[in-house]
Structure 1
Amino acid sequence: MQQYDIVIIGGGPAGLAAGIKAKEEGIDNILIIERDNKLGGILNQCIHNGFGLHTFKEELTGPEYAQRFIDKAVYMKIPYKLNTMVIDISNDKKITAVNDKDGIMEIQAKAIVLAMGCRERPRGAINIPGSRCAGIYSAGTAQKFVNIEGYMPGKEVVILGSGDIGLIMARRMTFEGSKVKAVVEVMPYSGGLKRNIVQCLDDYDIPLKLSYTVTNIKGKERVEGVTIAKVDKNRKPIKGTEEFISCDTVLLSVGLIPENDLSKKAGVNLSNVTSGAFVNESLQTSVEGIFACGNVLHVHDLVDNVTLESMNAGINAAEYVRGKRFENRGMEIVPSKGVRYTVPTYINAENVEKSIDVRFRVGDVFENSYISVYFGDIREMHIKKSILTPGEMETIKISKDMLVKHSDCKKIDIIVERG
């Protein structure tokens, strides 16, 4: 049985940031476990720029951003294992992992940081009718083909879903000579950042068809085209609105799912909304000593926010190893009236120094509205927003003074109020 103070599962931007910060906090006995053959996670295939504007105050590509953390982790001599798959975690923080060098390993950790990231939702999860022909890929798979393997998925492309990776791949495929005929989105709004809509679609005259979905994929050996149709308010196709688009490739950008199979094995309570863990202000899950951060907790739109969150997880894991204990309950944050979820779910005021960032997403598009925070019946925050969209994560700061002022309050309501 190998013994470590902190074991971090995942060597992407979240895991690296957590490990570096825990090391800076004085914890030397750390292990990062990564199932891929290199550190850096998904950023290794994200060769576009736009990373690091908040963390480094400069614009970097994904690999450049990741390399800065890899270099620092190596310089700090933080141990890591590559090509290593974690197959089990128990609620007493015993980890079972396997690789071709060490075989099956059992590792006892004092604290665990979950940083496994997320995966793409596949075709089977959305039940698109049609044949099972070649030429249908998730947007992330196509990105790896183009950016890492040097293969082109196709020449004429339709993209289903307007998440950020789908928008970015619309531009990437255009750069490589493909014709992107449409980005089709079932919702009446895009699921991606506004800047990506402008820079990836508008700048290249790629049509974004909102409130449309793919109703059939045609093709025997290879995709020959798709039928799309407008949808009603219940997202059901409207008869008579069908349109056929010829193409040889369909890319799916229909959502990301946090990779929490291991979290379930450890007994971590998960949210039905985010598919990530419920955490408190210290990013501790429902299992004492197990922390979560990054896209395994909830899907972020900026890696800079992943880094900040994960650094906090590293700090808190280090404090836990030194003997500090974090209550799994506290003031409960209750999202409603337009707010889908919040991270964290619970706040213990005694563990907040000056303020705490609460991140959340709304469930619809709201114009000229307010984000309001209520402690019981008392409204303490009323922040005007010209636009709120599900594709943009929102952050508010709740101060320590505010928490102390309402120390007897059991819940905090965060809602959207119309102007």
Structure 2
Amino acid sequence: MKQLELVIVGGGSAGMAAALSAFEQGIKDLIILEKDDELGGILQQCVHNGFGLQTFHEELSGPAYAQRYIDQIRTKEIPFETQATVIQITPDKKITYVSPKNGYQEIQAKAIILAGGCYERSAGGIQLPGTRPKGIYTAGTAQRYLNIDNVMVGRKVFILGSGDIGLIMARRMTLEGAEVVGVAELMPYSNGLMRNIVQCLEDFDIPLYLSHTVVRVEGFPNLERVIIAEVDAFRQPIDGTEKVFEADTLLLSVGLLPENSLAKQLGLAVDTKSKGIIVNEKLESDIPGIFACGNGLHVHDLVDFVSSEGNLAGRNAAAYIHGMKESAAFIKCTAGQGIGYMLPQCIHPDRIQEPLTFSLRVTKPYKQVKLRILKDGQVFKELPKRYLLPAEMVRIILKPEDLQDVRQELKVEVCES
């Protein structure tokens, strides 16, 4: 069995950033295992611009952003294997994977970083009502068909869900000559970034139906019609509000979920709200030496945040391999009123030696509110916010001295008064 210091599962922006960071910290005995045909992950199919403003201080397309990291990986001669599917990880950090090139392989690692990305909810996952005709795709699948395989999935398109991928595909399909007849969103607000709502819908006069959902699809063997209806406060369709759209294609942009099948197989603790692995300030799971980062940990809205998180995971994995001193004492980090989830979910204050970034998402849109930070139930700091949106991740940075006197719990909540 091969012995390695570090194995990184996933070769997207998080995995590559983690590898480069660990390499710079002296970890040379490592490998990236990527299940796809090339490094880069989902970025390779995101041909639109808007990537890299924080990381590279210029606007890049997804493939161009990925190539910056791929070039560094190749220059430093960091080992990687593509078409490598990890099928098992054990608590003692033994990785089993298969690939066309090397067949069945086993690696014993000192540390592991899980950077496997996320996946889309499908038609079955949301129990889409009606027939099962051809022409129904997740937005990401349609994006791959169009941008990588050069296959046009349809000519008259309706989109369910206003997540960023769905919004971007509304623009992309329009630019390719399709007619996007509408976008329906179950919530009373969009789940995409404001810039995408403007650039992808408003600039092309594509209607957005808030508080609406698909109540039926019709047609066989091909999709012919999509019927939507308004929903009430309990998100149930209201009779008599139906709208019928002739369409040959329905794209589903109904949410992304962290890919954590390996984590569940391992028995790692998973956050019921973020759906990702529970980690501490080092991005380390409840099994020492197994770390997580990127969209496999929680779904990000900017790839720059994914890369910075990968960088942190790489540095911390390297410190673990070099024999970082452990601390048993920890405190909980709790998502309070108005906060969907908060990450990390626990911290060891005595191990924090540099500013620590907390990531969180609110449960609904807010205007003119405060984010209140409490230490052991006492208000420590209030941060005024003009607005907060579920689609935009909030990042709070606290200094080591801010955390040293916490004994049991650090909480963040929304204060509307």
Aligned to 1:2: 2
Q: CA deviation at 1:399?
A: 1.5
1:184 aligns with 184
Counterpart in 2 of 1:416? 414
- The offset of 1:221, in angstroms, is 1.3
**Map of 1:122 onto structure 2:** 122
Which residue identity lines up with residue 206 of structure 1 in the other structure?
A: I
Tell me whether 1:324 sits opposite 2:335 in the alignment.
no
Q: How does 1:262-341 map to 2 (within 5 A)?
A: 262-327=262-327, 330-341=330-341
Residues 8, 112 of structure 2: 8 Å contact kept: yes
Aligned mates of 2:222, 2:237 — CA distance in 1: 25
- 1:391 counterpart residue number: 391
Deviation of 1:224 after TM superposition, in Å, equals: 0.5
* CA–CA separation in structure 1 for the residues paired with 2:357 and 2:314: 16
- 1:2 and 1:266 mapped to 2: Cα distance? 20
Q: 1:116 to 1:204 in 2, by over 3 A?
A: same
Aligned partner of residue 318 in structure 2, secondary structure = helix
Find the residue that maps to 2:187 and give its secondary structure: coil
- Is this contact kept in 2: 1:93–1:109, CA < 8 A? yes
State the secondary structure of the residue aligned to 2:64: helix
Indicate the percent of aligned positions where both proteins have the same amino acid: 48
Q: Does residue 371 in structure 1 map to residue 371 in structure 2?
A: yes
CA-atom RMSD in angstroms: 1.0
* CA pair 118-326 structure 1, distance change in 2 beyond 3 A: farther
- How many correspondences in the alignment? 417
**Any idea what SS the aligned residue of 1:69 has?**
helix
Matching residue of 2:254 = 254
- Paired letter, 2:50: G
Distance in 2 between the 1:134 and 1:227 partners?
16
* TM-score in terms of structure 2 length: 0.99
Structure 2 counterpart of 1:227? 227
Deviation at 1:330, TM superposition (A): 1.3
Q: Shift in Å at residue 347 of structure 1?
A: 1.3
Partner AA of 2:123 in structure 1: R
Unaligned residue ranges in structure 2 (runs of 5+): none
User: What is aligned with 1:96?
Assistant: 96
User: Residue 32 of structure 2 aligns to which amino acid in structure 1?
Assistant: I
Structure 1: stretches of 5+ with no match in the other structure: none
Distance in 2, Cα, partners of 1:231 & 1:209: 11
Change (3 A) 1:178 1:288: same
Amino acid in structure 2 at the alignment position of 1:260:
N
| Residues 326 and 276 (structure 1), Cα distance of their counterparts in 2 relative to 1, 3 Å cut | farther
Partner of 2:241: 241
Instruction: Return the letter of the residue paired with 1:72.
Output: Q
Note if 1:348 corresponds to 2:348: yes
Moved more, 260-269 or 313-322: 260-269
Give 3-state SS (helix, strand or coil) of 1:334's partner.
Answer: strand
AA partner of residue 81 (structure 2): K
Distance 1:325 1:121, change over 3 A: farther
Residues 91-130 of structure 1, C-alpha deviations (whole Å, 9 max, x = no match): 1100010112221111100000000000111100111111
Deviation above 2 Å: which 4+ runs of structure 1?
Answer: 325-329
Q: For residue 416 of structure 2, what is the amino acid of its counterpart?
A: R
Residue in 1 aligned with 2:34? Answer: 34
- SS of the aligned residue for 2:168 comes to helix
1:274 is displaced (CA, Å) by: 1.3
Q: What is the rounded CA distance, in whole Å, between the counterparts of 2:148 and 2:253 in structure 1? A: 19
Take 2:328 and 2:396, find their aligned partners in 1: how far apart are those partners? Answer: 22
- The residue identity in structure 1 corresponding to 2:344 is P
1:286/1:328 contact within 8 Å kept: no
Q: Which amino acid aligns with 2:56?
A: F
Write the distance in 1 (CA, Å) between the matches of 2:177 and 2:82.
35
User: Secondary structure of the residue that 2:224 maps to in structure 1?
Assistant: strand
Q: SS where residue 223 of structure 1 aligns?
A: coil
SS at match of 2:31: strand
* Post-superposition offset of 1:418: 0.3
Q: CA distance change for structure 1 residues 226 and 327 in 2, over 3 Å: closer, same or farther? A: farther
AA at the equivalent of 1:379 = V
Contact 1:182/1:208 (CA < 8 Å) preserved in 2?
A: yes
Q: Give the whole-Å Cα distance in 2 for the aligned partners of 1:178 and 1:155.
A: 4
Matching residue's letter, 2:90: S
Indicate the residue corresponding to 1:134 in structure 2: 134
Match of 2:172 in 1: 172
Tell me how far apart the structure 2 counterparts of residues 385 and 45 of structure 1 sit (CA, whole Å). Answer: 34
In structure 2, how many angstroms separate the alpha carbons of the residues matched to 1:44 and 1:112? 24
The aligned counterpart of 2:156 is 156
* Preserved contact between residue 377 and residue 409 of structure 2 (Cα < 8 Å): no
Superposed CA offset, 1:14-70 (max 9, x none)? 100000000000110011000111000000000000000000110000000000000
Q: What secondary structure, in the 3-state scheme, does the structure 2 residue paired with 1:262 have? A: helix
Alpha carbons of structure 1 residues 348 and 214: separation in structure 2 relative to 1, 3 Å: same
Q: Which moved more, 1:345-354 or 1:362-371?
A: 345-354
Paired residue type of 1:411:
E
- Supply the distance in 2 between the matched residues of 1:7 and 1:361 (Cα, whole angstroms): 30
Distance 1:37 1:380 in 2: 49
Question: What is residue 216 of structure 2 aligned with on the other side?
Answer: 216
